[in-house]
Structure 1
């Protein structure tokens, strides 16, 4: 399913409508950190926040926790039909920050997500606390006439919705775009093992339902997944340890969002569950489709603060929408500068980024000694990095473990990108110093690496000779440095 499929019709139809604010108390919240769709809200008075997200919502029968970790408590009155829901702040979180606030809502009697096409049942409704279901996103016309921007949106059917990853991802995506400043809660599906993944997908509030259910069966859930409770612990000690696991996971997630490495935590924690890996990959696929047409809508940034590094430690990093966007953008849009359109030189990457600052690339450039050729770096997971674009994020700052061998997927990505670029650009000669066997239809490929290392004297001599001979053969003139720099700046601006 693509992001353009007709889904969540009500929200899409009203995406442009303004929200009329009324006097219902609204949650004081300020985004203090963000990494794509993962975010940290400071709750309460911005000068002295009472809590931060991700955080926990306590149910009416849950033991108390510190307000900083659990700023909300929800009560469910099942004596009524539909059940009445009450969400209460546990601190003064709403302006003018003088009292705690209680929001009321109706749970509704909606059909399960598997019957989403059916327009039947009683839809949930609320105001500052807004319960929704997958079915109500499709059919409830009241969502087009909200009197207040919701402070908290609760997917009351999340425990059923979680069985349909694609629908869950689409539902979350549409709600985030329609209500970007609302806190999102998916009750019953969170735990220390998937806290970072849910935060990555845009969920702000968690709860204890899942860990309590596991605890009743003698299971602890930590960031590394479920495991049996240590028999040496008594009931109180075991539960305290479970709460400790939850707090540690939340703190780690917040810290990762602040530091900009939430993706690394997500990939590590997902390994505890095949379903989590599956959900991450489907989320990546969905966001990659969006990123290719509009990177901003996928939460991608074109720049990062100094020192930020994209850590590519897992194979799942290859599916990161940021990587997919780079590959698609370079393959379809990059063009060599006019004075470099005849000859390309393929070079290996380096540990130092940008590459030109590395000792190895200093030697390569001395051997090439010409501004008339396109220098193209071969790397993983980005695939191809033209010299002009090496200063751009993420090519300018990424790290990947290197073992000296390429796997099948990496080779396939590199060769596919090169083939498509060459079929569009039409290099006359490609001088291959990368160490990878390359064949390009209609283009002469010269291997200067052989069995030697890229930086060996013999390989560098062959590289220098090949560049010199072909530049002379095609009568290429050396452009002035100012002209070459201007062309590079234009290439960067086009990207």
Structure 2
């Protein structure tokens, strides 16, 4: 049963819990040319057999042994391609066993989608990454425990990026370059944190999804006539940071604030709580790497080309002068350093002020477009009520959305769930039943392809809304998994019978 995903990696429970490490002599045995796995026996060597044309070996209904792992690892691109093709062939619900895999590669192999490992290499070759240490715990046990912890916390990507090994980096970078569109399906739409500590973080699927969604869905609020470009802050969300609060004391007009940062490139203020904008952390030393500069430059140039403003003001540190030529091309008034007097003077002369209720409504419309790609029209003439941590959005005496500041996301009600179903967005199609509790994979007939884990979704039977809640699987897993919670129901339609 699927418990949790992060990319192709997964936690499962059932006859065995994965990721799993098998112990030689206890769970598996190598006896000459015979290999024993639990109650299954293979009459040949599965570690170093040169017969590379041999494919996967089915050892249980949902478990496949992938032989010759160490031989396949010699050619990184072929190995990754082979593994992905095998996933498409056998299904994303199956468990893959990699016998004899090098222990230090367990994290990246888990990220690639392997589920079961063993400690055989330690026994066969006295393996150790830095040499054998007397009385030290087996390296395989240590690494599998760290992999499990990272996967449970949503930090597997960080663990993988931290491994200083050429083969691990080759696999990660080849996946990022060639399989983003697949792996992104399995990245949750919300995660507690991102530690973007290496340049590989620029190519994380959730980071790339942010930039892609900006380009595909984002529209600036209708009130946004004047643009203010500002730097990020260490504290998230930006608006509660000391630097941004100090800056806002000197902004004397209603400005559309857009934050320039790495690895997200560009964050409109109204989206600053949407994942991963309030969840990421980066090491800050006042230096920008060339890859970061290019990302921010390209995204800013796209943004200024697409969206028109009556005036652009930039209030950026000296370290971001690599943007100066682009800002000049678009006629921006540039303020370098912390010249608050100039910021106050430049914004005050605009004499532009929008009522707070209009700002909030239009900002939520922008969020709805970004989150769902539809249904922003529900917010026309809507009213926002409550305090910030308990905001509800009403229209014609009906609650159409609530707002979850922890996730920076709109949460569905009956009205907005109907809108999603009508637009065939973020919709799960179930068999003919009324959910009394959560919806499990076995009861799902279909789902729209835009669903990621942690998305808000509508639950529908044919054309009838039956409920709404939070996706606990991606759309692929909803269709391929036989067991596991697919939707955590938050609201449901009561039966009349």
TM-score by length of 2: 0.66
Using a 3 Å threshold, how does the CA distance of structure 1 residues 494 and 480 change in structure 2: closer, same or farther? same
Is structure 2 residue 196 aligned with structure 1 residue 312?
Answer: yes
Using a 3 Å threshold, how does the CA distance of structure 1 residues 321 and 260 change in structure 2: closer, same or farther? same
- Alpha-carbon deviation of 1:429? 2.9
Is structure 2 residue 353 aligned with structure 1 residue 467?
Answer: no
Q: Out of 365, 380, 387, which is 1:490 matched to?
A: 365
Using a 3 Å threshold, how does the CA distance of structure 1 residues 382 and 494 change in structure 2: closer, same or farther? same
Paired residue for 1:161? Answer: 72
Distance 2:269 2:159 in 1: 31
Using a 3 Å threshold, how does the CA distance of structure 1 residues 381 and 124 change in structure 2: closer, same or farther? closer
Cα contact 1:427–1:443 (8 A) shared by 2: no
Q: Out of 139, 144, 161, which is 1:250 matched to?
A: 144
Q: Out of 4, 23, 28, which is 1:73 matched to?
A: 28
Distance 1:407 1:76 in 2: 53
Is structure 2 residue 59 aligned with structure 1 residue 87?
Answer: no
Paired residue for 1:10? Answer: none
- Alpha-carbon deviation of 1:123? 6.2
Structure 1 residues 6-58: Cα deviation after superposition (integer angstroms, max 9, x where no partner): xxxxxxxxxxxxxxxxxxxxxxxx334433322222343xxxxxx53222235
Q: How do 1:162-181 residues align onto structure 2 when only pairs under 5 Å count?
A: 162-176=73-87, 178-181=90-93
Q: What secondary structure sits across from 1:163 in the alignment?
A: coil
Q: What secondary structure sits across from 2:2 in the alignment?
A: strand
Structure 1 residues 55-75: Cα deviation after superposition (integer angstroms, max 9, x where no partner): 2235xxx433xxxxxxx4266
- Alpha-carbon deviation of 1:481? 1.7
Structure 1 residues 367-424: Cα deviation after superposition (integer angstroms, max 9, x where no partner): 22433x3211111111111111111001011111111222222122111110011112
Q: How do 1:73-472 residues align onto structure 2 when only pairs under 5 Å count?
A: 73=28, 78=33, 87-88=37-38, 101-102=39-40, 126=58, 129=60, 150-176=61-87, 178-191=90-103, 193-215=104-126, 220-221=127-128, 226-229=129-132, 233=134, 241=136, 244-268=138-162, 270-271=163-164, 273-290=165-182, 295=184, 297=185, 299-304=186-191, 308-340=192-224, 342-371=225-254, 373-435=255-317, 436-437=320-321, 438-440=324-326, 442-449=329-336, 452=337, 454=338, 459-469=339-349, 471-472=350-351
Q: Which has the larger radius of gyration?
A: 1
Q: What secondary structure sits across from 2:295 in the alignment?
A: helix
Distance 1:73 1:85 in 2: 7
Structure 1 residues 180-205: Cα deviation after superposition (integer angstroms, max 9, x where no partner): 332111223331x1211111221111
> Which region of structure 1 is more displaced relative to structure 2, 439-448 or 278-287?
439-448
Distance 1:124 1:313 in 2: 36
Using a 3 Å threshold, how does the CA distance of structure 1 residues 403 and 424 change in structure 2: closer, same or farther? same
Aligned CA RMSD, in angstroms, stands at 3.0
Using a 3 Å threshold, how does the CA distance of structure 1 residues 151 and 379 change in structure 2: closer, same or farther? same
Using a 3 Å threshold, how does the CA distance of structure 1 residues 123 and 53 change in structure 2: closer, same or farther? closer
- Alpha-carbon deviation of 1:251? 1.1
Using a 3 Å threshold, how does the CA distance of structure 1 residues 123 and 411 change in structure 2: closer, same or farther? closer
Cα contact 2:55–2:66 (8 A) shared by 1: no
Distance 1:414 1:395 in 2: 15
Cα contact 1:162–1:189 (8 A) shared by 2: no
Q: How do 1:43-54 residues align onto structure 2 when only pairs under 5 Å count?
A: 43-44=14-15, 52-54=17-19
Paired residue for 1:4? Answer: none
- Alpha-carbon deviation of 1:112? 6.0
Paired residue for 2:483? Answer: none
Distance 1:124 1:33 in 2: 25
Q: What secondary structure sits across from 2:325 in the alignment?
A: coil
TM-score by length of 1: 0.66
Distance 2:82 2:43 in 1: 20
Q: What secondary structure sits across from 1:339 in the alignment?
A: coil
Using a 3 Å threshold, how does the CA distance of structure 1 residues 303 and 388 change in structure 2: closer, same or farther? same
Q: What secondary structure sits across from 2:92 in the alignment?
A: coil
Structure 1 residues 434-489: Cα deviation after superposition (integer angstroms, max 9, x where no partner): 2222333752111123xx3x3xxxx12211222233x34xxxx5332222112111
Using a 3 Å threshold, how does the CA distance of structure 1 residues 414 and 112 change in structure 2: closer, same or farther? farther
